[in-house]
Chain A
């Protein structure tokens, strides 16, 4: 798919040497990287189909440096792309050839652990897992757990509003962040929220979360931590048809049970993972459900009984419950290794991320099978069943001419289907460049313009991560214009009182 990015600004590129020198004056030593060889590792993120060397990489260490870099770029009209660990699957951190790539990796300190208020204050380059590890000995953890958690950063999580397998019960990043420090494109620094609930004024924290690095650079984050549940046990349930699995999910929730995690895999995904990790998954089923319950021992045991009863009424072919922590982890091992497992059976795979109303699952899976035949590409499905978030993995071989393009077309068709059945383009991976041109499938021009007006309030010159999320870039002045006709509809036929 040819991806149109903002045109290079030749005036900026001509001044590259001067710009690099100015940035070196702000961030000394190794903090500015300008050689092609050393910039190479930054040329793409987790969406490796797209690559672009940035004009220069800057790795600041302090908020003051970030502010100075942004202030300089703002004055000089230079674009900036923030980057955490570069695991984005939607190209959110894809560099711009005439822009600064602003890496936050050196912001890697945990600033404060406050057990009394159950919050941790971290720099944005701290990895997701490191937060949980830092508070593990006191029995706490940070709930959102993307599969990339050993690598991805909290700053990236905030920017993408990342989720994980525990979202259904514990929420996404937005529901677990209380505050942040944000540097605006002008270099101005603001604080949103803090250790308290519900910031006063507009919920700008809620907007920044999931804004994909377009509104500001996050330089500090305050997250909530939770007490680790006393027990967790899982059930592994196999079905002869995805309809049965879907019905089981609906009935569990209908019975008032919100599991800590509820994941589903289809036959191709089961086969690939079982071959890879030998988790003991049944191979003769069409759908496999992992239902994890967590909480006090008595509650978990009680609810697990109910889940097993429900599974029976949904014609489950197999049902095993974990009787030890090792067994529970083994149940999960397959699911957690699903991406690499699929990576073993195909030279390349393309991971999609749509969300659908759960009841539409069988329909969507059937349609996907038809598309798979049409495009001649296999697809394996892992699925956050509790909240309807699908991850179809499209198998292809980039070395075969046209297969990548085909995989992308297949992927776009899946996402259109998600929207068609009442769902959305992305559940947790973000729009980035990947789904940018599909935005009009879900939003009208008015919807997108209103979003961009918000962008304008934060970044009036559109210098921060342009070319991401929005298919068309409008100038802020143009978006702000009003088309009011004085006296228009002086007597609209609306009841008055």
Chain B
């Protein structure tokens, strides 16, 4: 990141000051990098901004009503603070937001709720519970026009006007600076267990995960880790084998019953293992945060891609990438989410990855690569021309002068 003049780095104390800051930028032809607590600054196209709009002073939970399943917080509130608070009432953020700390290097739990939403984070439970977008009920934000607007509310069922929350989720701060966020909270499962199927190939694992997802087992996590990758996670490393993992959550009698459903389904595929509650939690946290590709681990120098595709295409995408580049792979979301760690190259294999993702009806995001690479290649899969033009018009409606994070997703967006 370039050194910036201190005069251009603003740290507003409240929503009103965010509005003033953006109006100031508009009036003085300045651009901002928008940051919550800065934990995901390394993701996205490398572009240049005049200054930083730091939202970390907007901090604190402003409303939490467990019985109503709702929580509001200022956008810069540490996600760790929110997770601890809801856990104290036996609740959780069901979308299981991942923590990029392992992949990017940095302290865990350092992100803000605003960042979680702006990156539309989720975790293994995405397949059952949805992503941040599905739990994001209301927002107050300042557009790149320097105007405060709100959308949504504090109730789950709401179709009053366009759902701008959906648009802001995953917009990487390019449309508006969010100042206040309301999300849904949900009860934590009483217990959990994980069933492991060992030694499956990627292609077989894909089929097995599909049948598990179509069973009564009500799986809340389905991931496949090839042997070399599985070995880096303590809870399963000792198997020395490829591991396909299935998580079951719920009340004890339910988990027990579904476990037997799953075991009979998996029996024909050879040897099985089980993880109890604590080991299961640790495993899924490692999968969620993609620790096998951690910045401080053996794959730390590799470029890392995140690819979303139809579950049945996962193994096909994985095979194509591994065949061409010696990529290491980790499959989550029943095969639909592929984490690919590739030997570093000066283009991070971007053309190959985007083409492979697109050919399989999905898209890819370059999550980890040196800044020079991220400045040179497409970090997000390019959109078709008509859609790309629409994307630009949408952005123009919120931030016509490109004050906020301009160029972070695509050139000009």
A: which residues have CB within 8 A of B? 114-119, 140, 160-161, 163, 167-168, 171-172, 174-175, 184, 188-192, 194-207, 209-211, 227, 229-230, 250-251, 253-258, 295-299, 301-303, 355-359, 384, 387-389, 422-431, 435, 439, 442-444, 446-451, 453-458, 460, 469, 480, 482, 484-490, 492, 494-497
A451→B214 CA distance, assembly (Å): 39
A369→B153 CA distance, assembly (Å): 26
B253 within 8 A of A: yes
B241-258 CB mask vs A (1 if < 8 Å, else 0) is: 000000000110110111
Report the nearest A residue to B176, measured CB to CB.
Answer: A450
A430→B339 CA distance, assembly (Å): 39
A283, chain B: closest CB distance, angstroms: 29
**Which residues of the partner chain A approach B166 to less than 8 Å between Cβ atoms?**
174, 203, 205-207, 209
B167 in complex: contacting residue of A207, A424, A431, A448, CB < 8 Å: A207
Contact B161 A469 (CB under 8 A): yes
Contact B159 A428 (CB under 8 A): yes
A54→B158 CA distance, assembly (Å): 30
Q: A171-B130, A387-B156 are in contact. List 5 more A-B contacts (CB 8 A).
A: A203-B171, A424-B153, A451-B162, A453-B398, A494-B12
Given contacts A298-B254, A299-B254, are A115 and B187 in contact (CB under 8 A)? no
Which of B225-233, B279-287, B305-313, B341-349 has 4 or more CB atoms under 8 Å from chain A? Answer: B305-313
Given contacts A424-B160, A490-B28, are A198 and B67 in contact (CB under 8 A)? no
A359→B126 CA distance, assembly (Å): 29
A-B contact pairs, 18 of them (CB 8 A): A161-B163, A174-B163, A184-B386, A195-B361, A198-B126, A200-B381, A200-B383, A207-B163, A210-B163, A359-B65, A442-B161, A454-B397, A456-B397, A484-B146, A487-B27, A494-B13, A495-B57, A497-B9
A341, chain B: closest CB distance, angstroms: 23
Report the nearest B residue to A172, measured CB to CB.
Answer: B157
Contact B308 A198 (CB under 8 A): yes
B212, chain A: closest CB distance, angstroms: 10
Residues 23-59 (chain B) with a chain A CB within 8 angstroms: 23-24, 26-28, 54, 57
B362 within 8 A of A: yes
Contact A492 B24 (CB under 8 A): yes
A453, chain B: closest CB distance, angstroms: 4
**Which residues of the partner chain A approach B381 to less than 8 Å between Cβ atoms?**
200
Given contacts A200-B308, A298-B257, are A116 and B218 in contact (CB under 8 A)? no
Question: Nearest 6 pairs between A and B by C-beta?
Answer: A206-B166, A299-B254, A200-B363, A256-B187, A453-B397, A195-B310
B298 within 8 A of A: no
**Which residues of the partner chain A approach B254 to less than 8 Å between Cβ atoms?**
295-296, 298-299, 302
B394 within 8 A of A: yes
**Which residues of the partner chain A approach B207 to less than 8 Å between Cβ atoms?**
116
B155 within 8 A of A: yes
B301 within 8 A of A: no
A160→B158 CA distance, assembly (Å): 11
Contact A357 B68 (CB under 8 A): yes
A428→B157 CA distance, assembly (Å): 7
Contact B162 A202 (CB under 8 A): no
A74, chain B: closest CB distance, angstroms: 14
B7 within 8 A of A: yes
Contact A497 B11 (CB under 8 A): yes
Contact B253 A298 (CB under 8 A): yes
User: Could you tell me the dominant secondary structure of chain B's interface residues?
Assistant: mixed
A485, chain B: closest CB distance, angstroms: 6
For the A-B complex, the count of residue pairs with Cβ-Cβ distances under 8 Å equals: 323
B158, chain A: closest CB distance, angstroms: 5
**Which residues of the partner chain A approach B386 to less than 8 Å between Cβ atoms?**
184, 188-190
B304 within 8 A of A: no
A258→B91 CA distance, assembly (Å): 12
B15 within 8 A of A: no
B215-245 CB mask vs A (1 if < 8 Å, else 0) is: 1101000000000000000000000000000
**Which residues of the partner chain A approach B175 to less than 8 Å between Cβ atoms?**
202
Report the nearest B residue to A479, measured CB to CB.
Answer: B397
Contact A494 B17 (CB under 8 A): yes
Given contacts A254-B66, A299-B250, are A494 and B256 in contact (CB under 8 A)? no
B151, chain A: closest CB distance, angstroms: 7
Given contacts A206-B166, A355-B158, A496-B9, are A253 and B253 in contact (CB under 8 A)? no
A108→B70 CA distance, assembly (Å): 39
B90 in complex: contacting residue of A256, A258, A447, CB < 8 Å: A256
A26, chain B: closest CB distance, angstroms: 20
Contact B149 A447 (CB under 8 A): yes
B86, chain A: closest CB distance, angstroms: 12
Contact B162 A207 (CB under 8 A): yes
A205→B213 CA distance, assembly (Å): 24
Given contacts A189-B386, A194-B310, A202-B391, are A384 and B130 in contact (CB under 8 A)? no
Given contacts A359-B67, A422-B154, A490-B28, are A196 and B130 in contact (CB under 8 A)? no
A204→B147 CA distance, assembly (Å): 22
**Which residues of the partner chain A approach B187 to less than 8 Å between Cβ atoms?**
253, 255-258
B21 within 8 A of A: yes
A327, chain B: closest CB distance, angstroms: 22
B60 within 8 A of A: no
Contact A431 B161 (CB under 8 A): yes
Given contacts A198-B170, A200-B363, A258-B187, are A422 and B153 in contact (CB under 8 A)? yes
A206, chain B: closest CB distance, angstroms: 3
A484 in complex: contacting residue of B26, B167, B214, B311, CB < 8 Å: B26
B333-369 CB mask vs A (1 if < 8 Å, else 0) is: 1001100000000000000000000000111110000
Contact A199 B363 (CB under 8 A): yes
B326 within 8 A of A: no
Contact A431 B308 (CB under 8 A): no
**Which residues of the partner chain A approach B213 to less than 8 Å between Cβ atoms?**
118, 227
**Which residues of the partner chain B approach A447 to less than 8 Å between Cβ atoms?**
149-151, 161
Most chain-B CB neighbours within 10 Å: which of A188, A443, A469, A484? A484
**Which residues of the partner chain A approach B145 to less than 8 Å between Cβ atoms?**
482
Contact B155 A388 (CB under 8 A): yes
Contact B26 A424 (CB under 8 A): no
Contact A299 B396 (CB under 8 A): no
**Which residues of the partner chain A approach B311 to less than 8 Å between Cβ atoms?**
116-117
**Which residues of the partner chain A approach B133 to less than 8 Å between Cβ atoms?**
198, 203, 206
Most chain-A CB neighbours within 10 Å: which of B54, B130, B159, B337? B159
Given contacts A201-B383, A299-B251, A457-B397, are A492 and B17 in contact (CB under 8 A)? yes
Contact B157 A389 (CB under 8 A): yes
Report the nearest A residue to B144, measured CB to CB.
Answer: A482
**Which residues of the partner chain A approach B401 to less than 8 Å between Cβ atoms?**
482, 484
A147, chain B: closest CB distance, angstroms: 14
Report the nearest A residue to B312, measured CB to CB.
Answer: A116
Given contacts A299-B253, A387-B157, A492-B21, are A446 and B308 in contact (CB under 8 A)? no
A254→B187 CA distance, assembly (Å): 8
A205→B67 CA distance, assembly (Å): 30
A201→B394 CA distance, assembly (Å): 11
B5, chain A: closest CB distance, angstroms: 9
Report the nearest B residue to A117, measured CB to CB.
Answer: B310
Contact A480 B163 (CB under 8 A): no
A301→B127 CA distance, assembly (Å): 26
Report the nearest B residue to A179, measured CB to CB.
Answer: B361
Report the nearest A residue to B189, measured CB to CB.
Answer: A256
Contact A355 B394 (CB under 8 A): no
B109 within 8 A of A: no
Given contacts A211-B162, A496-B9, are A355 and B383 in contact (CB under 8 A)? no
Report the nearest B residue to A488, measured CB to CB.
Answer: B27
A297→B215 CA distance, assembly (Å): 14
**Which residues of the partner chain B approach A446 to less than 8 Å between Cβ atoms?**
147-149
**Which residues of the partner chain A approach B251 to less than 8 Å between Cβ atoms?**
299, 302-303
Report the nearest A residue to B5, measured CB to CB.
Answer: A496
A454, chain B: closest CB distance, angstroms: 6
Contact A357 B127 (CB under 8 A): no
A427, chain B: closest CB distance, angstroms: 4
Contact B310 A427 (CB under 8 A): no
**Which residues of the partner chain B approach A160 to less than 8 Å between Cβ atoms?**
159
A486→B27 CA distance, assembly (Å): 4
